[in-house]
Amino acid sequence: MSGTFVGMPAFPEAAHEAVNNQTLRGNLRHATHTIRAKRAKAVTEVSDWAELREAGKRIKDHTLRHLDRYLEQLETSVTAAGGTVHWAADADEANRIVADLVKATGESEVVKVKSMATQEIGLNEALLEEGIHAYETDLAELIVQLGKDRPSHILVPAIHRNRGEIRDIFEREMSEWGRPAPEGLTDTPAELAEAARLHLREKFLRAKVGISGANFMVAETGTLVVVESEGNGRMCLTLPETLISVVGIEKIVPTWQDLEVFMQTLPRSSTAERMNPYTTMWTGTTDGDGPRDFHLVLLDNGRTDTLADEVGRQALRCIRCSACLNVCPVYERAGGHAYGSVYPGPIGAILSPQLRGVTSEIDASLPYASSLCGACYDVCPVAIDIPEVLVHLRERVVQGGEVMSKGNKVVLKPAKGHAAERAAMRAARWAFGRPGALRAGQRLASRTRRLHPRSLPGPGKAWSGTRDLPAVPAEPFRDWWQRTQGGKDGAK
Amino acid sequence: MRVALFLTCVNDTLYPDTGRAVVKLLTRLGVDVDFPMAQTCCGQAHYNTGYRHEAEPLARHFSDVFGEYEAIVTPSGSCGAMVRELYPRMGERARAEGRGDTLSATLAPVVPKTYELTEFLVDVLGVTDVGAYYPHTVTYHPTCHGLRGLGLGDRPRRLLQAVKGLELKELPGAEECCGFGGTFALKNSDVSAAMGADKVRNAESTGAEVLCAADNSCLMHIGGTMGRLESDMRPVHIAEILASTEEEPAV
C-alpha cells in the first residue's frame, strides 16, 4: 500500500490525539450523525432492502469464487472493445505501468477521478517522482491535496475539515497549483464550490490524460462504471485523449443485470441518495467519442492473499460505500487518520491488516480498534460480518499461524507485546476450568475488599484513569446460594 | 420447568444482587430455578480477544454443566450471544481446521435453549407484566450484543413499561455503544472513555434517576464513568427493577 502511512503509531496512540481534539470531534460528530440519519431514511424507503443486501452478498461471493474465470472474460471483452489490459501484482508494478503509459503520451500532467485504488498504491506520489503532476478533481480530494493532508474517510476524504478551514486552504494554496482563489472568498458552500469549479475547469480543459478507478467492471461486456456526485468524473472520463483506469480485481461483476442490485444499494448506503447524480459507463473506445486510448490496470496488491482466507475473504465484497464508517462510534471519536491507511473505519480495520499483513505496529493494532458493537455489520449493504473478521484477525495477531503472502504460504509468529495478555488468558482459562479455583479467588477478593484501592497503578490505569472500579461485594453469589439454598430458607 | 441460572462470572463475582433478583423474580413467576455450582465462564473474553482455542475448553465445560436443563437463563445479553451466536461458529471453525464435528456436537444441545432474561420472560413465559413496582424515573440503554446479536428488540422496554410506578424516559442515541467492549475498554481506553462519557451525558439529559440495562459489564463501565464524572444517576440491572415489588421494593 501507499508509502504515505509507513511508520504510523499503533491505533490507540494515534487515536489519543483525535479524541482530545474538540474541533475534530465536533466536525466528525456533526458529519457522521447527519449522514447516518439520512442513510437510515433512504434505506427504509426500499421495501426489499434485506433481499437486495442478500443478493449483493451472493453476487459478490459467486464472483469471488470464480474470480479467475471472470477476470479472463473481462480481459477478453475489454480487449475486443478496443482497450488494453495490464496486470499489476502489487503497488509498485501498478505505479510503474501507469507512469510508463503517461510518459508514452509525452504529457507531464494528468487529471484524476476520485479513486481509492490509486490512493491505496500511492500513485500521485509515484507519478511525481517521475515528474508527472496528478491533479485531484473531486472537491474533497482537492481539499486534501491542496492542504498537503491525508484523506480520513472513504467517501468524504475531507470530513475532518470544516468550512473555515477549507476557505483558508483554498486562499493559501490554490495559486501554487493553478488558478488562485477569488478575492474575498468566504466560507459559504456556494462560494467554496465556485472557487473549486473555476480552479478545476482550467485543468479539465488542458489535460490530455485522465486517471480513474472504477466502482464496477462488467465481465460480459468489458464495461467500467464510475458512480459520482460532482460531474468531475464525467469530465475526466470523457475529455482527455488517454484514459487509464486502475481497478482492484474484486470490483468485477459478471453481468449488467448484476449492476441493478448495486445501483440501488450503493447510493443509498453512501450518500443516502436514491440515485447518484452522475453514473458514467464506458466500454473500450469509440471513434470520435471520448478517449482514443483506454488502458485498464488490474490491481491485486494483497487481494489474492485475502481471498485465500476463508473468514477474511468477505472483506473483498466491499463496494466502498462508507456506511460502516458513518455509524462507527470508534471512527467518530478516533477520526480516519488514526487507522493509518486510506481505508479507515471498520472496513479499514479488516482490510488493511489483510492487504498489508499484520506485521507492522499499526496493522497489528487495527483488529482491536472496535468495541464489536456490530453497528457496521447491520448497515453493510453486502453483509460483511466485520466483527467476525475482526475477531478472526485478533486471533491471527495473538496466535500467528499460516497465511498467504504475495502468493506464498508463510507461517506468522504471534505478534510481540501480547505475552502478558496470553499468560493472563491461560491463567483465567485454568481457573475457570475449576469451579473451586474460581471460588477461592472470589473469596479472596471479597475478604480483602476493604483494602482495594479506588484507582489502579500501571496498566490498570487504562481502566481507573477514567472510571471508578466496581466495589467487590461481601460474598459472591455462589456463597449466598449455598448458604441460603437459593434464598429458600428465608435468609437474605 | 427445570431452569438453570447461568449467572456469568462477572455477576457471580461482582454483582450478586443481580443474581438474587433473577432468582426472586423467576421464583415469583413460578419457575423452579437452579444454580449449578460447577458453572464458571462462557469464554467470551477469551474468544473476542483472539484466544478462541483457550475459549474452547470453557465452552465444553459450559455444555457439561448446563446440558441437562430444559432452559438456561442468563441476565447478560453478551454472554447469551456468546452461547447462541458464537458457540456454533466455534464448532464451524474447528471443523474447518480439520478437527471434525466433535466440538459442534458437544455444544449443540445448549445453543437453542439458552435465553437472555428478558427473552425468557417474554417469549417462554409469555409475560410482560411481571408484577413489579419501582417508583423511579428510568432510561433504558439497549446493550449491543443484546440489541444486534440476540435481537432483543422491544422486549426489555415492554417489560419496563409494565412496571408500576416506573416512568420511562427516552435515551438519546440509545443504540450507540457505551464503549465497554470487553478488553476494548483497556486496549483503547481513550476512545472507550470518550464513548462512555457521551453515553453518560445522553443519559443525564433525560433527567432520569436510573440508567437501566440488561448487562452488568456495560453497566460497570457506564457506572464507573458516572462515578468519575460525579453524576447523580445510578446504573441498575433490569432484573433488579423487575424483581422489585411493593412489599419488597428495591432502592
Average confidence (pLDDT) per 10 residues, chain A, 492 residues? 62 94 92 96 97 98 98 98 98 98 98 97 98 97 96 94 95 96 96 97 96 98 97 96 98 98 98 96 95 98 97 98 98 96 97 94 95 98 98 95 91 85 87 87 87 79 91 95 82 52
Q: Which of B7, B9, B225 sits opposite A466 (nearest CB)?
A: B225
Residue of A nearest to B145 (CA): A373
Residue of A nearest to B23 (CA): A486
Any chain A CB within 8 A of the CB of B2? no
Look at residue A111 and give its three-state secondary structure. strand
By Cβ distance, the residue of A433, A465, A466 closest to B57 is: A433
Nearest Cβ partner of A476 from B13, B27, B197?
B13
The answer to whether B51 contacts A391, with C-beta atoms less than 8 Å apart, is no
CB < 8 Å to A371, chain B: 144, 177, 179-182, 184, 192, 195
Whether the CB-CB separation of A253 and A218 falls below 8 Å is answered with: yes
Q: Between chains, do A334 and B52 touch, taking CB under 8 Å as contact?
A: no
Q: Is B225 on the interface with A (CB under 8 A)?
A: yes
Number of H helices and number of E strands within chain A? 23, 12
Which positions 349-368 of A are in contact with B (Cβ < 8 Å)?
367-368
Q: What is the distance of C-alpha A489 from the center of its chain?
A: 59
Interface probe for B, chosen from A331, A372, A454 (most Cβ of B below 10 Å), is A372
Which member of B16, B148, B197 has the closest CB to residue A476? B16
Residue A225 CB neighbour total at 10 angstroms: 20
C-alpha cell at A376: 457496521
Quick check: ipTM above 0.95? yes
DSSP H helices in A110-188: 116-120, 123-129, 139-146, 163-177
Whether chain A has a CB inside 8 Å of the CB on B20: the answer is yes
Neighbours of B172 (CB within 10 A): 12
Helix axes A435-447, A419-432, angle to 10 degrees: 110
Q: Give the Cα-Cα-Cα angle B71, B76, B81 (nearest 5 degrees).
A: 75
Note whether A394 contacts B48, CB cutoff 8 Å.
Answer: yes
A vs B, Cβ pairs < 8 A, gives: 203
Choose the closest CB to A480 out of B16, B183, B191.
B16
Residue B43 touches partner A, C-beta closer than 8 Å: yes
- The closest CB to that of B191, out of A311, A334, A398, belongs to A334
In B165-224, the residues whose Cβ lies within 8 Å of chain A are 175-177, 179-197, 220-221, 223-224
The nearest CA of chain B is from the CA of A40 a distance in Å of 13
A154 in Cβ contact with A211 (< 8 Å) = no
pLDDT at residue A297 in the model: 98
Which one of A12, A371, A459 has the shortest CB-CB distance to B177? A371
Contact map slice: B 111-170 vs A, CB within 8 A: 144-145, 148-149
Closest CB to A432 among B52, B58, B186 = B58
Q: Please state the φ and ψ torsions of residue A295, each to the nearest 5 degrees.
A: -120, 130
Q: Does A475 touch chain B (CB under 8 A)?
A: yes
Interface contact flag, A395 B16, Cβ < 8 Å? no
C-alpha to C-alpha distance for B84 and B156, rounded to whole angstroms: 19
Nearest to B214 by CA among B137, B146, B159: B146
Contact A435 B38 (CB under 8 A): yes
**Contact present, A141 and A284 (Cβ < 8 Å):** no
Q: Quick check: A463 and B58 CB within 8 A?
A: no
Helices and strands counted in chain B (H then E): 14, 8
| pLDDT confidence of residue A3 | 42
Could you tell me which CATH class the domain A3-299 is placed in?
alpha beta
Where along chain A do its domains lie?
3-299, 419-484
Give yes or no for A435 touching B (CB within 8 A). yes
Nearest Cα to Cα of residue A249 among A293, A313, A310: A313
* A contact residues 88-147, partner B, Cβ 8 Å cutoff: none
- Kind and range of the H or E run holding B138: strand B137-140
pLDDT at position A422 is: 86
Q: Determine whether the interchain pair A377/B195 forms a contact, defined as Cβ–Cβ distance below 8 Å.
A: no
- Measured CA to CA, the distance from residue A278 to residue A396 in angstroms comes to 41
B48: contact with A, CB 8 A cutoff: yes
φ/ψ of B13, rounded to 5, equals: -80, -45
Residue B212: which of B21, B8, B6 has the closest Cα?
B21
Nearest chain B residue to A429 by CA: give it.
B54
Chain A, residues 178-217, CB within 8 A of chain B, namely: none
Q: Do B184 and A372 touch (CB under 8 A)?
A: yes
User: What are chain B's domains?
Assistant: 2-124 (3.40.50), 137-243 (3.40.50)
**A 306-345 residues with CB below 8 A of B?**
310-311, 329-330, 333-334
Give the whole-angstrom CA distance, residue A351 versus residue A346: 9
* Distance from C-alpha of A445 to C-alpha of A209, rounded to nearest angstrom: 71
Say what the pLDDT of residue B43 is.
96
pLDDT, one tens digit per residue, over B113-136 is 999 999 999 999 999 999 999 999
CB contact under 8 A, A371 and B39: no
Chain B neighbors of A394, CB-CB under 8 A:
48-50
Contacts of residue B236 in chain A, CB cutoff 8 Å?
none
Suggest the residue from A432, A443, A475, A482 to mutate for an interface test with chain B (most B CBs closer than 10 A).
A432
Along the 251 residues of chain B, how does pLDDT read in single tens digits?
A: 789 999 999 999 999 999 999 999 999 999 999 999 999 999 999 999 999 999 999 999 999 999 999 999 999 999 999 999 999 999 999 999 999 999 999 999 999 999 999 999 999 999 999 999 999 999 999 999 999 999 999 999 999 999 999 999 999 999 999 999 999 999 999 999 999 999 999 999 999 999 999 999 999 999 999 999 999 999 999 999 999 999 999 86
